Structure 1
Amino acid sequence: MNKINSYSTGLVAGLAVFFGLMVGAIIMLISGFNPVTGYISLLQSALGSSLNIGEVLRAMTPLILTAAGFLVAQAAGFFNIGLSGQVWVGWIASTWFVLANQGMNPWILIPVAVIIGALGGAVMGYIPGWLRAQFGASEVITTIMLNYIALYGGNAIVQGLPNKLMATTDMTKTLGNSDSLRWDFLSNLTGGSRLNIGFIIAVVALLAIWFIMKRTTLGFEIRAVGLNPNAARYAGMSAKRNAITAMTISGTLAGLAGATEGLGTYLNIFSQSAAPQVGYDGMAVALLASGSFLGIIFAAFLFSVLSVGGLGMPLATGVPTELVSVVTASIIFFIGANYLIRLILVKLDEDDSKDKDKKKKKAIKANQKEAK
């Protein structure tokens, strides 16, 4: 068992990505497409121009924030499936505030709106944390239920906004660049992409969370509770308080992701048929990062390249965009089956050791014969 767990998470994650890409390649071959040209077109569509690179960075923004939120909850021993609902609440709260206060000075309006979005997500994270701490309710069940409450409640709020804020019955008016997170410098730098200040916010938030989790007493207590609640309680740490804190921080980051989506990417609110996908994608990014905050950057980059590059694959090679979802799902599958990957690595090591032992024995016998 120790030998199985001895392999680095980076190696296992890398193999999971490789196996996921191989599954995609096999499906392309079965479907009559050339996997080499398919993946080349994907990379060209994602990284072939400054515009596309800007879109990749823009797509990374909510993934970094939701993945960091998931890791905080995971460190405390919780599985926060409510990220999508928390994103949606943060999106609505921040964008609604800006739409309703467009006469306010933008230097005050936007920071306040971002904070309101983060607080909206924090409330949605606090609720399942409190229910878990007080009643032992499973955060998996409560966050799934809250996703639906956020989705349909949010849609009802959007459709019930004053007519002066609405463009249609299901969509609000669009914000101007001055009332958003858009920055002409970033957009012009990346060929007119939607890259915005939200990316900077995400990187700063990731660094702040890394510092809190790795360098502060609060982070130590959250991790201690996640590793062994009984031992942490014996040491004087409050498992209930840290459970609530971890889920609240997780929700705050997801709400911040929602604010960047509403104020940076879409510049409005519109009714959703399902909870925002970035919440679920953020979970996948966190799983691929394998508990590493630095790994979040690389995992978010990979998923963003797949999502942005996948849009150009049908035009270049005819490969359907759904194949990108298959590749992504395969990567997640192999991350979930990391024990199997580690087992394979152990088997390969054992076979290699046996081969080396055989070669040594042959060499010893040969030397003994020469000596005689």
Structure 2
Amino acid sequence: MRLVKELALVGVSLLLAFAVGALVAKVSGLSPLAVYRELVRGAFGDQYRIFQTLTQATPIMFTSLSFLLAFRCGLFNIGAEGQLYMGAFFGAWAGFTFVLPPYLHTAVALLVGALAGAFWGFIPAWLRARRGTNEFVTTMMLSYVAVYFTSWLVSPRGPYHGTQWANQTVRVLASAELPRFVRGMQLHWGLVIAGLFALFLWYFLFRTPRGYEIRAVGQNPRAAQYAGIDVPRVMILSLTLAGALAGLGGAAEILGTHRRFIEFFSPGYGWDGIAGGLIARAHPLAVIPAAILIGALRAGGMGMDRAGVAPSDFVTLLQGIVIFFLVAPELFRVFRRLRRERRVLVHSQP
């Protein structure tokens, strides 16, 4: 019953979003029919476009899983973008530094990327659990640190500047590359890995004692502490694992799509992960269609721009309208819960 209600809510939100988008297009002097026709065609028009949609969706799945894992523990991981960048660079570094057999090299590079993301998630986790520092602020700040730190690493004066014509590393070795499904397409096995981790995270959160502890802390940390749960340890664990998921996504994106680390390679996959996690209502399996939807908006938006039916600014606006309407109901729930908890805390004080 709850699933039916959530699906109905998502459907109504989509209809409202597209209605508002059509109204904005009409007011802007554009044809709503042409806009939406090119949006669908750009995302699902043929095999190439479908593969591009799934390519865009793959890193968003990882960052959505990263956000929702921390969210289930009552934490806001706004730093998936930075964790993605750390995982991407160090995954690439392992890809061109180590000489290992195929498949083993890929696994090691992915593991190194996940560890780099985990380390970047551990820092705000420790600060939140041991010093009470707001993770919303620290994860966001560390995102910018990671983006510009990796940018310096591949800059002309950086230690890993690989080519003269662009700020990027050298290409990873062939033994480290994630295989692609079809020659000439960018879609790679990172999509399958993301799907498997969505399934694993569902099992971890809803079928294991550790997952129960994470959800208990997210629901009510004071009650969880009274029940004997080590709340600081659980917070550190959840945000560190969240960083590992984002780092793994960054490594998969580099090893499968770009085959080298490129400065500012992400168009905002970490921020899309926040929307993806909220659209999925913090459920790991629902992340898969949520990420595909956001990937379709990205790929379809590029198709609209290429077709000339709408300027790039309108494409970005339309994407924002759709994501806002899908995310808004869950945000209202979160704010209502936080307000209720604050009211209870105030009344409980002498």
TM range (shorter): 0.7 to 0.9
Q: Is the 8 A contact 1:133 1:243 kept in 2?
A: yes
Equivalent residue pairs, number: 330
- How far, CA to CA, are the matches of 2:45 and 2:262 in structure 1? 31
- How far, CA to CA, are the matches of 1:303 and 1:284 in structure 2? 9
- How far, CA to CA, are the matches of 2:193 and 2:58 in structure 1? 8
Cα distance, 1:234 vs. partner? 0.9
Q: Which one of 45, 52, 62 corresponds to residue 42 of structure 2? A: 45
In structure 2, runs of 5+ residues without a counterpart are 334-350
- How far, CA to CA, are the matches of 2:57 and 2:108 in structure 1? 23
Residue in 2 that maps onto 1:198: 190
Find the residue that maps to 2:285 and give its secondary structure. helix
Q: Which amino acid aligns with 2:182?
A: S
- How far, CA to CA, are the matches of 1:233 and 1:81 in structure 2? 25
- How far, CA to CA, are the matches of 1:326 and 1:131 in structure 2? 36
Find the residue that maps to 2:103 and give its secondary structure. helix
Q: Which one of 190, 203, 214 corresponds to residue 211 of structure 1? A: 203
Alignment partner of 1:307 is 2:303 = no
- How far, CA to CA, are the matches of 2:172 and 2:182 in structure 1? 16
Cα distance, 1:327 vs. partner? 2.2
Alignment partner of 1:120 is 2:111 = no
Q: Is the 8 A contact 2:83 2:120 kept in 1?
A: yes
Q: Which amino acid aligns with 1:237?
A: I
Q: How far does the alpha carbon of each residue in 1:173-213 deviate from its partner, in whole angstroms, 9 at most, with x for none? A: 33465531133xx124xxx3200011111111111111101
Q: Is the 8 A contact 1:12 1:341 kept in 2?
A: no
Alignment partner of 1:134 is 2:126 = no
- How far, CA to CA, are the matches of 2:328 and 2:254 in structure 1? 35
- How far, CA to CA, are the matches of 2:304 and 2:294 in structure 1? 15
Q: How does 1:261-272 map to 2 (within 5 A)?
A: 261-272=253-264
Cα distance, 1:41 vs. partner? 1.5
Over the aligned positions, Cα root-mean-square deviation in angstroms equals 2.3
Q: Which one of 50, 70, 77 corresponds to residue 80 of structure 1? A: 77
Q: Percent identity?
A: 36
Give the structure with higher Rg (CA): 1
Report the more deviating stretch, 302-311 or 173-182: 173-182
Q: Is the 8 A contact 1:181 1:197 kept in 2?
A: yes
Q: How does 1:134-173 map to 2 (within 5 A)?
A: 134-159=130-155, 160-162=158-160, 165-168=162-165, 170-173=167-170
Cα distance, 1:339 vs. partner? 7.7
Residue in 2 that maps onto 1:352: none
Cα distance, 1:287 vs. partner? 1.2
Task: Give TM-score, length-normalised by structure 2.
Answer: 0.88
Q: Is the 8 A contact 1:167 1:173 kept in 2?
A: no
Cα distance, 1:162 vs. partner? 4.7
Distance change >3 Å, CA 34–CA 123, structure 1 → 2: same
Task: Give TM-score, length-normalised by structure 1.
Answer: 0.83
Q: Which amino acid aligns with 1:62?
A: P
- How far, CA to CA, are the matches of 2:110 and 2:332 in structure 1? 41
Find the residue that maps to 2:92 and give its secondary structure. helix
